[in-house]
Amino acid sequence: MVIGSVIWLAACATPVAEAPTVEEPTMSAVDALVRTSLDLRGVRPSLDEIAAVEADPTLGEGGALAGLVDTFLEDPRYEGRVRDLWAEIYLTRAPSIYVNAATFGLGDEPGFEVSTGEEVLAILGHVAAADLPWTDIVTADWTMADEITASIWPIDRPVGEGWQVSHYTDGRPAAGVLATNSLWWRYGSTDSNANRKRANTASRVLLCNDYLVRPLEFDRNINLLDEEAVADAINNDPSCTNCHNSLDPLASYFFGFWWYDPSNSLEIVKYFPERESRWALYTQKAPSYYGEPGYNLHDLGQQIAGDHRFPTCAVEQAWELLLRREVSAADTGALVTHRDAFINGGLTMKALMRSMVMDPRYRAGATDTEGFVPLKMITPDLLATSVEGLTGYTWTYGGYDLLRTDNVGYRTLAGGADGYAVTATSTSPNATLVVVQQRLAEAAAWYVVENEPARLFTVDFTETPETDRAAMVTQLQGLHKAVFGRTVAADGGEVEAGLALWADLYAVERDTRDAWAGVLSILLRDPDFLYY
């Protein structure tokens, strides 16, 4: 996002010319509906929603799609989509580097991993779904907790199942995600690092300013094993001070999370206000935010919330996550428009998301010119929720969600990021993804036929091409509409191929349900199901 940051600085300094008229998108109204539904709810649109857009294919304001966008943003699944999208930014869905469930005497390893990595994302999801200003993610005096985190962390949580708005009880400052165990269990610090990793993490995820991507040149003769020589370079070498003059004072805010024994479960669950001044022993630079002095994380959260780079970064992140590509200079006009919508909408994520999904660039098709987004490949979490939405099937084993974990599951094999070895989601398929898709398709197709056929099937599984060809044709048309959002002709090639496949499968076992499960699994394995 370095390019984007430069663009924004220029935009803030000079008036931005009116964005040129965007060409009409090649994506159809129904394809735009499918894309929007997947991005905002994680599921494909219903047949009724498709019918509404087919009846009114207007893509702009006042059309059926615009009305459905408002509905999608109020859907309970929208909160989960925000979590899944920003999980690619925060990368907290990974096993803690410090402890495991056994450290706390827990045997539910899957639940422990999910809960301790989800706190930050749950905050983002709640702020987005409740239509709170995005600044709350760095200023809130509350956190989100479920049964597991409330049982191991000093948290006051109301009665109820799942994630609830809760409060830490150990005196930590009100600073939203900056004051969470989840974030700093994921991003720890050694003595020599002195919270600089944490400072850069905060800068990267909240300001889109990653110190690690800056070009660096330093004296190769410095002995990096000599602590005194390194400390001298940090304070005096211009190539080092260029970063450290702002990074080190930022790192000094995080010493309340300074744990002397990371293996001690009694220590790493707490924030220590009395340790906030330990910066004097480590960075030796008082806390400050780009020259503005502060004291603790509450001050830092307020400073970040007031920085013009904070909303700018949120806009860049949302644009890249929705378009699945990096920000470029060609996006300047669009980003300024969406930033205005974000600010005018009270810095709510719903206002920003609505502005973006109504942008012609968002719903442009694969044949458009440079600067437009091509079809996007589905991510592992989106593959999971879209299949579940169609079939009701969730792919789990021993409590693990197999598309959201790697110790037991297949997240990275399906193109996802684990936060450690793989830090970016894949944008193109590979052999392992195809295998994962195949196994998921087979299991989901069998499940829905055996357990919840009314989700997708109108036949009663007694029909054959000889006894009721019309019902089977109608069923194949319905499957194509549900799975792809596509209308196929009764005498079209898709239907003929489906009937032929059904007949071949039926000839093997003489079981109509097995044959329909095979047909559906092939549709779920289609490359068109991977791209939207």
Average pLDDT over residues 219-229: 59
pLDDT band at 5 (very low <50, low <70, confident <90, very high): very low
Provide the Cα torsion 63, 387, 384, 451; round to 10°: 140
Give the separation between CA 364 and CA 361, rounded to whole angstroms: 5
How many angstroms separate the CA atoms of 99 and 105, rounded? 11
Q: Average pLDDT, stretch 194-207?
A: 96
Could you read off the pLDDT of 352-369 as tens digits, one per residue? 999 999 999 998 765 545
Read off the pLDDT of residues 130-175 as tens digits, 9 standing for 90 and up. 999 999 999 999 999 999 999 999 999 999 999 999 999 999 999 9
Neighbouring CB atoms inside 10 A of 188's CB total 17
DSSP E strands in 423-514: the ranges are none
pTM for the structure as a whole: 0.89
**pLDDT score, position 285:** 94
- Of 419, 387, 385, the closest CA to residue 405 belongs to 419
- Is pLDDT at 92 greater than 70 in this prediction? yes
pLDDT greater than 50 at residue 231? yes
Q: Does residue 94 sit in helix, strand or coil?
A: coil
Non-local (6+) Cβ contacts of 233 within 8 A are 218, 219, 222, 240
Q: Is the pLDDT of residue 462 over 50?
A: yes
Average pLDDT over residues 262-287: 93
Q: Which residue has the higher pLDDT, 370 or 136?
A: 136
C-alpha span between 482 and 53 (Å, rounded)? 14
Beta bridge partners of 401: 396
Mean pLDDT of the chain: 89
- The residue among 529, 378, 391, 524 whose CA lies nearest residue 456 is 391
* pLDDT-derived band at 236, boundaries 50, 70, 90: low
Contacting residues for 7 by C-beta, under 8 A, at least 6 apart:
327, 329, 331, 332, 335
CB atoms within 10 A of CB 217: 10
- Residues 235 and 107: their CA atoms lie apart, in Å, by 47
Question: In the chain, pLDDT over 90 holds for what percent of residues?
Answer: 76
- Indicate the pLDDT class of residue 220, thresholds 50, 70 and 90: low
Closest C-alpha among 510, 530, 393, 428 to residue 462:
510
Beta bridge partners of 143: 166
The strand ranges marked E within 148-250 are: 155-156, 164-168
List, in order, residues 6 or more apart from 332 with CB less than 8 Å away. 7, 11, 16
Res. 12: pLDDT tops 90? no
Using 50, 70 and 90 to split pLDDT, how confident is the model at 306? very high
Contacts of 172 (CB under 8 A, 6+ apart): 179, 256, 271, 273, 297
Q: Phi and psi at residue 143, in whole multiples of 5°? A: -135, -175
3-state SS track over 246-298: HHHHHHHHHHHHCCCCCCCCCCCCCCCHHHHHHHHCCCCCCCEECCEECCCHH
